[in-house]
Structure 1
Amino acid sequence: MTLDTVKHAEQTPDTPLPWAELGLKPDEYERIVEILGRRPTGAELAMYSVMWSEHCSYKSSKVHLRQFGEKAPQSDAMLVGIGENAGVVDVGQGYAVTFKVESHNHPSYVEPYQGAATGVGGIVRDILAMGARPVAVMDPLRFGAADHPDTKRVLPGVVAGIGGYGNCLGLPNIGGEVVFDSCYQGNPLVNALCVGVMKHEDIHLAKASGTGNKVILYGARTGGDGIGGVSVLASETFDDSKPTKRPAVQVGDPFQEKLLIECTLEIFREKLVVGIQDLGGAGLSCATSELASAGSGGMRVELDTVPLRDATLSPEEILMSESQERMCAVVEPQHVDRFMEICEKWDVIATVIGEVTDGNRLEIFWHGEQIVDVPPRTVAHEGPVYQRPYARPEWQDALQADDAAKLSRPASGDELRAAVLQLTGSPNQASKAWITDQYDRFVLGNTVLSQPEDAGLIRIDEESNLGVAVATDGNGRYAKLDPYTGAQLALAEAYRNVAATGARPLAVTDCLNFGSPEDPSAMWQFAEACRGLADGCLALGTPVTGGNVSFYNQTGDVAIHPTPVVGVLGVIDDVTRRTPIAFAEEGQLIYLLGETREELGGSAWSQVAHDHLGGLPPQVDLEREKLLAEILISGSRDGMIDAAHDLSDGGLVQALVESCLKGGKGARIVIPDGDDAFVTLFSESAGRAIVAVPRSEELRFTDMCGARGLPATRIGVIDGDALAVQGQFEIPLDELREVYEGALPSLLG
């Protein structure tokens, strides 16, 4: 094609451009013309198209995401909040921890291995760009029905991609989730979280300041893979009835990324950069415009100096390419030589591609001709903002009226026993070891807890044993029934999971996975989930530090369940005092903390036994969640509890099964007088946990619960080699283990 220079664009205002093919709406294209005072060049059009995509600009979600700032609780721990590559919190002793979760959903459906692998690579670079050493990853995953043929295509590739990339980087995978539901059949959710650690003084931000400072692109060469990549792919619905833009998925090289990490950390140690940005979604378009926009001046870039894997790439393709393992740094001239020496030491290609100017424009040149001349903020931070129409779906009332209480339920002991085995062997409740055993959970030697514990726990200081815990949770079934409550339940469960290990919850990251923002029903779900999460974070005192929105998760007009995934990070002063889920000591007493109500809407039992979704999700009491967390943390710190497990999907009986099997010890359980055995075992009331209390600590523990007003009911004892519910049933652990561990291998091969 003919190269469109800025001058030529001024002289040829009527030249047609493929703005619609690049995903821009008519009014968006007109706004670009208005901003520039002329038609854009081809390169400018490419930049605006990817940077104004839904994935990069948040144009449909911004108006709702503002609540996370407007309702943010006061937090002394917050060091860097929303707007940077990742949030940063103070965890004490001079340490700061950065963490963030993002999506790579559509690329992982198109090409499961590379989509998932590059999702891990991208989130790791976000953490690295903050100045931190990445120390762990997690992966919340959602797939279609476990027995569907396409799940057997997508899941093994996704798991292999996560394991292959993360294992090669030498990062432990310490947690996450795997959920199966037919609503994710055409749109699996592959969310990736990374945690990084640094000292306070090592925090870096994405900004280009200082006239004359050099802009250095370093890492892998730029190729044709991922042109438009996630920025376009994640901004459109899959629809079998019409052609769909499916750009090439990015191709990852974890060994190159490992070199890039070590190279970057050495550059940080020598304090050679004044600003840094990773190249992820939108590639160079994003890195150059965001650095310039957040800086104090402009930027000039010589695009033909960019190292290429494919010499035939056009400038537009170079700007849109989302090739992996690349970073962009702003370096003072006197430090350039040393910067290059370090890159050469690590066998990392580094090239000066431009410099910071004293103007206010981003100018890009190609073989001496100017092809881009734009105000960088209009590309990076001043894209369209939509007030999308939203409305409560017409079917919502009928869905909530379809109460699970009407479903036939087990009445006898034999029927309860059969229901427990059916639940334990269901894909969502069964062991995920077939998946998680493909991940290295203990590399680096600082993993304290990992799957299937309530939260992953990493030691970050070997002398003091300071550590951080992270948990991710999200129940799309709850959110479908009530997105406001569903989002709060996701937050409450992740908060509870962190507290169950003995860590104090500090901050939140989220990945909000929804259908098309152009569908008023999906937009209502999103608006309600944001409102619920913002209100919940304010009540719990855990600010949102950052995250991701993933829209267009639907095939045709069939959307996934609204799935807000919430990650909570907490701090523990001494990881040697952490609390695992395993029942390990016979004779210890089992206490149920919290209150159980008949709450079966959206429950695992209703799905497994009846394939039913209807009614209302469990109630949320955030003050009770805070109280429960305080008890769990104090009990762990003061040696009053030896095991703890939160109650969520599957209720009390699922938690008992998991704690018994993890520790290899049975339990004898007594249903309290007057309570319904089925409700006690299968209800999913929130704000609950089970704990194992040494007999010597029982009085101290119950006094603490009583003094603080938390219901604590002694329901049994750790004993024997079976899960026995008095007067109802008994199941040997060997039988439970066979069902629990055999389900996924038999389904997935």
Structure 2
Amino acid sequence: MSTPAKPPLDTVAHATGTPEQPQPWAELGLKEDEYTRIREILGRRPTGAELAMYSVMWSEHCSYKSSKVHLKQFGEKAPHSDAMLVGIGENAGVVDIGEGWAVTFKVESHNHPSYVEPYQGAATGVGGIVRDILAMGARPVAVMDSLRFGAADHPDTKRVLPGVVAGIGGYGNCLGLPNIGGETVFDPCYQGNPLVNALCIGVMRHEDIHLAKAAGSGNKVILYGARTGGDGIGGASILASETFDDAKPSKRPSVQVGDPFQEKLLIECTLEIFRENLVTGIQDFGAAGLSCATSELASNGSGGMRVDLDDVPLRDSTLTPEEILMSESQERMCAVVEPDKVDRFLAICEKWDVIATVIGEVTDGDRLEIYYHGEQIVDVPPRSVAHDGPTLNRPLARPGWQDELQADTPDRLERPASAELTRLTLLQLVGSPDQGDKSWITDQYDRYVLGNTVLASPEDSGMIRIDEASGLGVALSLDGNGRYAKLDPYTGAQLALAESYRNVAATGAKPLAVTDCLNFGSPEDPAVMWQFSEACRGLADACQVLGTPVTGGNVSLYNQTGDTAINPTPVVGVLGVIDDVERRTPVAFRTEGSLVYLLGDTRDEFGGSAWAQLAHGHLGGLPPQVDLERERLLAEVLIAGSRDGMIDSAHDLSAGGLAQALVESCLGGGIGARVVVPDTIAAFTFLFSESAGRAIVSVPRSEEVRFTDMCRARSLPAARIGVVDGDALDIQGQFAVSLEELREASASAVKF
């Protein structure tokens, strides 16, 4: 039986001569007007390889075509910051932290791949964000993650969660990177669409910053790292650009496969290459693979680029040129190297057992040209692929159900009618999936490898020592609340920033900059686009007030199953700097006799609260009010109190309110507290309200006058509510719960 003849190679010449040849543009995720525009740009129909490149680079995931009209606010409203060294537009933002040190940090999503194949989806999410940080010239030093799953008792959550956690731990642990914090949330809205947002931070000297650009005609383009395979073809770029639907297997491409040991070699190899100043430009391979790396390098440079696909090392010889260009195989980088430095570059790669191949060179033209078997299969303006994709002003409309949702306030919900019922409510909250002990997750991560972790989960922020001599360090927090954002996306986004900002300040670090991961449903739904636009507006406005610019981040759309979207979930990471990590402030109560102070104002605010969800399955009303000036004032007090030794511990108040914060501080230190409910407020409101802009601190008696004078001078409400003492949380005149009972309740929370 004869083998069918392969179709002729679709070269540029062939495409020019066959303008009417049908092409599968719709199957690749392009719209008809987008395909028409590609033909107009090229003056002909695209070749199969060009069509593949445009399809992945113009996908929602890579081009931000639905979101960039709203994201521009982060630049237009950006507050001035002397610390900003590299902002939005590069692989990651870079911030000056003093003493010649800089840090780069960024958060990205790997949501849909983690549902399809939980272990590899999450693992390669970590690997991808680590390479973004590496590509800036930095040594990666820590990771964090923000995870959201469906209902804790749902069978599919039991399938997805263990794999995701194992993937994050397996990849990060093998790389030798500490996982210093994050969050894990359960909500039925994420059923079938979990959120896996991964953050990485890296450290460098100012002079070590590298950018993604191909400059210098005649300079060589070198692909180094793993071989290119068929895994992940169309993966993140296509999968993250369509509504997730089990009935459409075409939307389930293969998920990338990670090899952390290869990545570790790639990291050390790249850092040695940087030390010897061997590259003029560098780019990691992420979504869209070679299509992205070559087009972005060429677009950011001063000339063109010529690439020969025959020189790309393959682990699957049957790959077509289109598949080579679209493959998202992991652990790969692309560097631009001057000819006289190529031999040394290749020698370092050989030393680290990293495959490295010259696949092209920078030209003095203005085109990206790619050849295969001696034939030209790509001839495009690189900017048209990488940066000049579609810009959509999608319709947006406040949903008709928003008023009804906000009108359904939690005021109608039955509250505990006795002290005993309030005590039982506390235990129920402490043992809930969201608020309970998460050590069964975090213990799977190495939090202290490298020896520079000074704070990690369950602290308010993770903290890393940057310089051993001076004690200079950075703190990071990653927070979001989809329930708040569902009630009011503008305020919800600001609350996410405020909580992360407050968490960083609570450890004693000064907040400097922001990264965000914006997780939303289908942009084709006007209600979702309204949520997205409001969240962007809210976050940009809040960053302006707090003086914390957005340095970069990620947008993840189409997070829905069928017609059911997730709650809008902006996740916000805040980076802060601390002069000396020895002055850090932990969450745990540490000294018996210390005085417990509540900072900020408590109002009757239960919209979107943990109590409303847990006790009544209710979501309605308005989220807590935001007072950004109060947040900044609170941060100043927390930072000064830490720096000047006025406080023993600090803990922000967020989900679960004061009650949850007291429990966590008591259990963290193994010491109880006696707390008095003020006469001016109901005990239930005092304990469980989620009013923002609040924190509890423990103050040594010797520092009380100095501390209260500081609060008074800044007009920050500070009420002494109790004392650190005993082996129980005693809400005087109400109830007492032993630490043992609290620990048992917390430990009884769901485990997988």
Q: TM-score, normalised by structure 1?
A: 0.99
Contact 2:308 2:360 in 1 (8 A): yes
Q: Is 1:507 equivalent to 2:513 in the alignment? A: yes
Q: Tell me what 2:710 maps to.
A: 704
Match of 1:529 in 2: 535
Paired with 1:357 and 1:79, the residues of 2 have a C-alpha distance of 29
Between the aligned partners of 1:325 and 1:293, the Cα distance in structure 2 is 23
CA deviation map 1:103-141 (0-9, x unaligned): 000000000000000000000000000000000000000
Letter in 2 for 1:138: M
Match of 2:593 in 1: 587
* Cα distance in structure 1, aligned partners of 2:205 and 2:9: 47
Out of 112, 122, 132, the residue aligned to residue 126 of structure 1 is: 132
State the partner residue of 2:373: 367
1:23 aligns with one of 11, 29, 33: 29
1:111-122 equivalences in 2 (<5 Å): 111-122=117-128
Tell me which amino acid in the other structure corresponds to 2:329. S
Pick aligned residue for 1:451 from 441, 446, 457: 457
Alignment of 1:314-713 (within 5 A): 314-713=320-719
Q: Distance in 1 between matches of 2:517 and 2:8?
A: 41
Structure 1 contact 434–744 (Cα < 8 Å) conserved:
no
Indicate the percent of aligned positions where both proteins have the same amino acid: 82
Question: Residue type of the partner of 2:720?
Answer: R
CA displacement at 1:411 relative to structure 2: 2.5
Amino acid at match of 1:706: R
SS of equivalent to 1:196 = strand
What is the CA deviation profile of residues 309-362 of structure 1, one whole-angstrom value per residue up to 9, with x for unaligned ones? 000000000000000000000000000000001000000000000000000000
Letter of the 1:682 partner, please give it.
F
Q: Residue deviations 1:90-110, cap 9 Å, x none?
A: 000000000000000000000
Superposition deviation, residue 242 in structure 1: 4.3
1:335 alignment partner, SS class:
helix
- Whole-Å Cα distance in 2 between the matches of residues 56 and 457 of structure 1? 31
Cα distance in 1 between the residues matched to 2:69 and 2:259: 37
Structure 2 counterpart of 1:564, one-letter code: P
Q: Is the 8 A contact 1:135 1:171 kept in 2?
A: yes
2:310 counterpart SS class: helix
Aligned partners of 1:511 and 1:549 also within 8 Å? yes
Contact 2:79 2:547 in 1 (8 A): yes
Aligned residues: 746
1:23-42 maps to which residues of 2 (within 5 A)?
Answer: 23-42=29-48
Confirm or deny: 8 A CA contact 1:502 1:637 kept in the other structure: yes
Tell me the distance in 2 between the aligned counterparts of 1:84 and 1:744.
Answer: 40
**Cα distance in 2 between the residues matched to 1:91 and 1:209:** 29
1:155 to 148, 158, 161: 161
Are 2:749 and 1:743 equivalent residues in the alignment?
yes
Of 199, 203, 206, the residue aligned with 1:200 is: 206
Gapped runs of 5+ residues in structure 2?
1-6
* 1:681-706 deviation line (CA, Å, top 9, x unaligned): 00000000000000000000000000
CA positional deviation for 1:741: 1.5
1: CA distance, partners of 2:270 / 2:369: 26
CA distance in 1 between partners of 2:248 and 2:179 (Å): 38
Cα separation, 1, equivalents of 2:364 and 2:396:
44
**Structure 1 Cα separation of the partners of residues 515 and 247 of structure 2:** 36
Q: Distance in 2 between matches of 1:19 and 1:387?
A: 22
One-letter code of the match for 1:380?
A
1:70 aligns with 2:76: yes
Is this contact kept in 2: 1:238–1:244, CA < 8 A? no
Equivalent residue number for residue 234 of structure 2: 228
Question: 1:729 is matched with which residue?
Answer: 735
Partner SS, residue 509 of structure 1: strand
How far apart, in 2, do the equivalents of 1:416 and 1:707 lie?
36
Q: Which amino acid aligns with 1:515?
A: G
CA apart distance, 1:584: 1.3
2:191 counterpart of 1:185: yes
Give 1:367 shift.
1.1
1:268 aligns with 274
1:259 is aligned to: 265
- Give, as a single letter, the amino acid of the residue that structure 2 aligns with 1:580: P
Letter in 2 for 1:660: C
Separation in structure 2 between the aligned mates of residue 27 and residue 708 of structure 1, nearest angstrom: 58
Shift of 1:2: 2.7
* C-alpha contact 2:245 2:251 (8 A) present in aligned 1: no
Partner of 2:4 in structure 1? none
Looking at structure 1, the residues matched to 594 and 750 of structure 2 have their Cα atoms a distance apart, in angstroms, of 32
Amino acid at match of 2:424: A
Q: Could you tell which deviates more after superposition, 403-412 or 489-498?
A: 403-412
Alpha-carbon distance in 2 for matches of 1:36, 1:706: 67
1:105 is matched with which residue? 111
SS in 1 for 2:167: helix
* Counterpart residue identity of residue 25, structure 2: W
1:279 aligned residue (281, 285, 302): 285
CA distance, structure 1, for counterparts of residue 8 and residue 744 of structure 2: 66
Find the residue that maps to 1:486 and give its secondary structure: helix
User: Within 5 Å, which residues of 2 pair with 1:291-302?
Assistant: 291-302=297-308
Amino acid at match of 1:474: G
Cα distance per residue 1:242-287 (max 9 Å; x no partner): 4442110000000000000000000000000000000000000000
C-alpha contact 1:483 1:528 (8 A) present in aligned 2: yes
Displacement after TM superposition at 1:239 (Å): 1.9
* Residue aligning to 2:3: none
Secondary structure in 1 matching 2:30: coil
Deviations 1:430-451 (A, max 9, x none): 0110101000000000000000
- Letter in structure 2 aligned against 1:428: D
What is the CA–CA distance in structure 1 between the aligned matches of 2:606 and 2:346, rounded to whole Å? 61
Counterpart of 1:238? 244
Asked if the contact 1:411/1:678 (under 8 Å) is kept, the reply is no
Q: Distance in 1 between matches of 2:727 and 2:412?
A: 35
Unaligned runs of 5+ in 1: none
CA deviations on 1:615-659 (whole Å, 9 max, x unpaired) are 000000000000000000000000000100000000000000000
Letter in 2 for 1:123: I
Distance 2:247 2:510 in 1: 50
Root-mean-square deviation over aligned CA pairs: 0.6
Q: Is the 8 A contact 2:600 2:694 kept in 1?
A: yes
Partner amino acid, structure 2, of 1:315: P
The residue matched to 1:8 in structure 2 has which SS? Answer: helix
The alignment partner of 2:729 has SS state of strand
Counterpart amino acid of residue 640 in structure 1? M
State the Cα distance separating 1:675 from its structure 2 match. 1.4
8 Å CA contact 2:233–2:253 kept in 1: the answer is: yes
Measured against aligned partners, the alpha-carbon deviations of 1:492-528 in whole angstroms (never above 9, x if no partner) come to 0000000000000000000000000000001100000
TM-score normalised to the size of structure 2?
A: 0.99
Deviation at 1:733, TM superposition (A): 0.4
**For 1:553-581, what per-residue CA distance to the aligned partner results, in whole angstroms no more than 9, with x for missing partners?**
00000000000000000000000000000
Displacement of 1:744: 2.3
Match of 1:309 among 287, 310, 315: 315
The answer as to whether partners of 1:241 and 1:556 remain within 8 angstroms in 2 is: no
| 1:91 aligned residue | 97
- Residues 102 and 204 in structure 2, CA contact (< 8 A), matched pair in contact too: yes
